[in-house]
Amino acid sequence: MIKRLKTAMVGVGQWGSNVLRNLAAAERCEVKYLCDSDVQALSRQAGRYPNVKTVPEFGDLLADEDLHAIVIATEAPTHYNLAAQALAAGKHVFIEKPMTLKARDAAALASQAESSHLKLMAGHLLVFHPAFEAVNRMITAGEIGNVYYIYTHRLNLGIVRREENAWWSLAPHDVAVICRIFEADPIAVSAVGQCYLQKDIEDVVFATLKFGDGRMGHIHVSWLDPHKIRKMTIVGSRKMITWDDMSPGEKLRVYDKGVVAQNVTSYADAITLRIGDIVIPKTASYEPLQREIQHFVDCCLDDLPVLTDGAEGLRVVRVLEAGQKSLENQGLPVDPRQLD
């Protein structure tokens, strides 16, 4: 039984440095290696973690039998290859979102991890957000009623990416949360978008996810927008919730609003609006990334089921790939379940 998880942090760029900070602070965890092919990025972090070995070559990590887990925060196109090598070398793996760029690669990683009895975790950060945990509790307790539909806005001016479009860069979190709330894969994804700043890289995308029995999600992502908005609206049969991640103290609002269909004959009487109180529930104030990384460490050490495991990573990548295919075909609906 391992008492302390020995880890390597691969990719210490913009986001990886945040992951590293939380990995270094996680309980029952040791960062044994920092790895980045960019020696400047590596030496920037090496100064902060003087006792950690630095390695520019990913392959050099794999032979160390005393290394238990690899945390990957490199650019998305590298994820599949690095993760497949890490799993083949017997290491547990955490991969930042999106887990891969192809559903078939995500499926291969999920089955590789399962057959090797290794943990595979996708970095779906919002699932570990205290506001999401509160939303989930309300939905599970039946307070919201049936969730009819959900829409999200994830907008800002920048960061403009070169390797991926706004859909792949910004939508994974919303896709993960919507699928988790509906506990299902969508049956069709249609997406339209436009490239303004760079050739063939969409800056703005509007996507609709249709689920069985009429439930629906809509995602608007853009890095070319005057507003900085990260907001989700969840409309249920009993109540409605808004989750505004940009609001420092009032992230959630629960609206006791709904429409009651009466069993009467006249059209005018048939629908009654119910407009009750708006409640601002207090949410816990921990850092989602800290919770996410500690979850990975605990799952590896205590052999617990991973909340955002390979199957969840695959579900999200399927939707992303379906959205990409739809974008390339002027919004044609694509069934994500057919892709791997």
Ligand X SMILES: NC(=O)c1ccc[n+]([C@@H]2O[C@H](COP(=O)([O-])OP(=O)(O)OC[C@H]3O[C@@H](n4cnc5c(N)ncnc54)[C@H](O)[C@@H]3O)[C@@H](O)[C@H]2O)c1
Binding footprint of ligand X on the chain (CB under 6 A):
10-11, 13-16, 35-38, 41, 58, 73-76, 78, 82, 96-97, 123, 125
Closer to ligand X at the Cβ: 13 or 333? 13
State the residue number with the nearest CB to ligand X: 13
Q: What is the closest distance, in whole angstroms, from the C-beta atom of residue 123 to ligand X in the complex?
A: 5
- Alpha-carbon distances of 271 from 237, 257, 266, 275, 335, rounded to whole Å: 13, 13, 10, 13, 35
Question: Smallest gap, in angstroms, from Cβ of residue 159 to ligand X?
Answer: 7
Contacts of 285 (CB under 8 A, 6+ apart): 130
**Alpha carbon distance 7, 181 (integer Å):** 32
Write down the least CB distance from residue 323 to ligand X, Å: 15
Closer to ligand X by Cβ: residue 15 or 49: 15
Rank residues 173 and 220 by Cβ distance to ligand X and give the closer one. Answer: 173
| Torsion sign (Cα): 317, 14, 66, 25 | negative
CA–CA gap between residue 77 and residue 145 (Å, rounded): 40
Q: Which is nearer to ligand X, 23 or 125 (CB)?
A: 125
As a whole number of angstroms, the distance between CA 308 and CA 24 comes to: 21
String of b and e for 135-167 (b: at least 16 CB within 10 Å)? beebbeeeebeebebbbbbbbbeeeebeebbbb
Cβ closer to ligand X: 225 or 245?
A: 245
Which amino acid appears at position 268 of this protein?
A
Number of neighbouring beta carbons within 10 Å of residue 280: 12
Q: Which is nearer to ligand X, 44 or 104 (CB)?
A: 44
116: helix, strand or coil: coil
* Smallest separation (angstroms) from ligand X to the CB of 39: 9
Minimum CB distance to ligand X, residue 100 (Å): 10
Name the residue nearer to ligand X (CB basis): 72 or 301.
72
Query: Which regions of the chain does DSSP assign to beta strands (E)?
Result: 5-10, 29-35, 53-55, 69-72, 92-96, 120-123, 147-157, 188-194, 204-210, 216-222, 224-236, 240-244, 252-261, 271-279
CB nearer to ligand X: give 58 or 243: 58
Minimal distance in Å, beta carbon 78 to ligand X? Answer: 5
User: What minimum distance in Å lies between the beta carbon of 109 and ligand X?
Assistant: 14
In whole angstroms, the minimum distance from the beta carbon of 145 to ligand X comes to: 30
d(CA 316, CA 180): 10
DSSP-assigned beta bridge partners for residue 104:
none
